[in-house]
Amino acid sequence: MSDSASSLQAITDFAEQLALQAGELIRHEREENTLRTDLKQQTELVTHADVMADEFITGAIRERFPNHRILSEETMPDLSQAEELDTPLWIVDPIDGTVNYAYGHPQVAVSIAYAEKGRVQAGVVHAPFPGETFRATRGAGATLNGETINHSGATVPRDSLFATGFPYTKDNLEPLVRRLDAMIHQCRDLRRIGSAALDICWVACGRLDIYYENVSPWDFAAARLIALEAGATAGHFGEVPEGYPADLYGRDILISAPAIWEPVRKILRTASAYD
């Protein structure tokens, strides 16, 4: 193993350690303490555990890598961080699936990614309630609880199970409804899981065939690398702005088994009136 590969594996190990510890924190907070919630931007649910886990993860990263930058959902959600490529960047979502968390559902994940020059090099997604840890280091494959995972191998949209999500704000749903209508009619069925990170990891391990949505970097950065390392295809059915790192651009994401990626892209582009 080269020095750089060994270094990335060490970073992935560190990210996994943080994700496991943060997962235990949020599990304990939900099971042992009274849930404390609030709203940010008048619409988006946030819990005290979100902030606690975010501060724990970002504090540990700062202590070990003081010169690295951090993009985190709760404490440092400055998206311009993704455009600055000279310094290594950590992308953190302390609780992906906050509504699930608040309602007692198990589909909740801690997501931690590490990027260099706009490319994600390491990613960990940990689901504390089922006890599942997905991880990947670029070029080294993807695993679930230490076992290698691969995509489903789906070959046609008609026989494919897809997942997507919807924004907290409901003032511009028409394009999303058009896409959903097209996909429902041309695929097997829909699953609405409530965590983008787990949606994508489930594509990586074959529980789903397709995922598409508009999300923020912290929702998908780690899981996207996991899916790629599991052999899935990841890209966008819309256009990525020139100069913006594709690994961190969250609009019009599409991740699927390779054989169906282009047919599904055409379905979504047509429904979006992009063509």
Tokens of 201: 């990891």
130 exposure class (CB count in 10 Å sphere: 0-12, 13-18, 19+): exposed
Do 242 and 153 contact (CB within 8 A), yes or no?
A: no
Q: How far apart are CA 114 and CA 21, in angstroms?
A: 17
Q: How far apart are CA 232 and CA 207, in angstroms?
A: 12
Whose tokens are 């508009």? That residue is 214
> Is 96 known as a binding-site position?
yes
For residue 220, what are the contacts with CB-CB under 8 A and spacing of at least 6? 196, 197, 200, 250, 253
> Is 73 known as a binding-site position?
yes
Q: Quick one: which of 229, 209, 199 has its CA closest to 156? A: 209
> Is 38 known as a binding-site position?
no
Residue 132's identity, in one-letter code, is E
Q: How far apart are CA 213 and CA 58, in angstroms?
A: 26
Q: Quick one: which of 226, 191, 223 has its CA closest to 210? A: 191
> Is 147 known as a binding-site position?
no
Cβ-based neighbour number of residue 244 at 10 Å: 13
Residues contributing to the annotated binding site: 73, 93, 95-96, 219
Residues contributing to the annotated binding site for Mg(2+): 73, 93, 95-96, 219
